[in-house]
Amino acid sequence: MAEESINVARENIEAFNAGDWDRVKSTLAADSVYDEVGTQRRIQGADQIIDAFKGWKQAMPDVKGTVTNALASGNTATLQITWEGTQTGPLAGPGGTIPPSGKRQVTRAAFIATVEQGRIKDAYQYFDMMTLLQQLGAAPQ
């Protein structure tokens, strides 16, 4: 079960990297919950989660997550991810929309996913929002 959890979580990230939304959806339970801790967004439902993911891709079309470590216990997988991308589009966030900066960002994150019946039931993405905003020039260094 632990290996399946890692595989499903990795597939979710790889599908996001490819911008393959049907593939992303295949990794999510219909009633999946995504808690994006850095933005304080809690999103429920596969279609709504995909809409949020599309927002990140709109802001940074080249954004990619590289899994640097993975471990699991039972049906819960934890991935360490390094996100890299250039903000060439508007980035909507809890404090408003950040206009395109043209700046590249590298942000480390932890992605914790609970997998049931081969799909992500709930996921938590922890990333350093302050560092991300500083790299984009939207927060003081």
Whether residue 119 is predicted with pLDDT greater than 90 in this model: the reply is: yes
Residue recorded with tokens 């699991």: 72
Contact 97, 33 (CB under 8 A): no
Whether residue 94 is predicted with pLDDT greater than 80 in this model: the reply is: no
Q: Tell me the per-residue pLDDT of 48-93, one tens digit each, with 9 for 90 and over.
A: 999 999 999 999 999 999 999 999 999 999 999 999 999 999 999 8
Contact 100, 112 (CB under 8 A): no
Whether residue 1 is predicted with pLDDT greater than 90 in this model: the reply is: no
Domain boundaries, the chain: 2-136
CATH class of the 2-136 domain in this structure = alpha beta
108-127 mean pLDDT: 98
Q: Which of 119, 111, 125 is nearest to 43 (CA)?
A: 125
Q: Tell me the per-residue pLDDT of 23-50, one tens digit each, with 9 for 90 and over.
A: 999 999 999 999 999 999 999 999 999 9
Q: Is 20 helix (H, G, I), strand (E, B) or coil?
A: coil
Quick one: tokens of 110?
């932890």
Angle at 21 between CA 81 and CA 3, to 5 degrees: 45
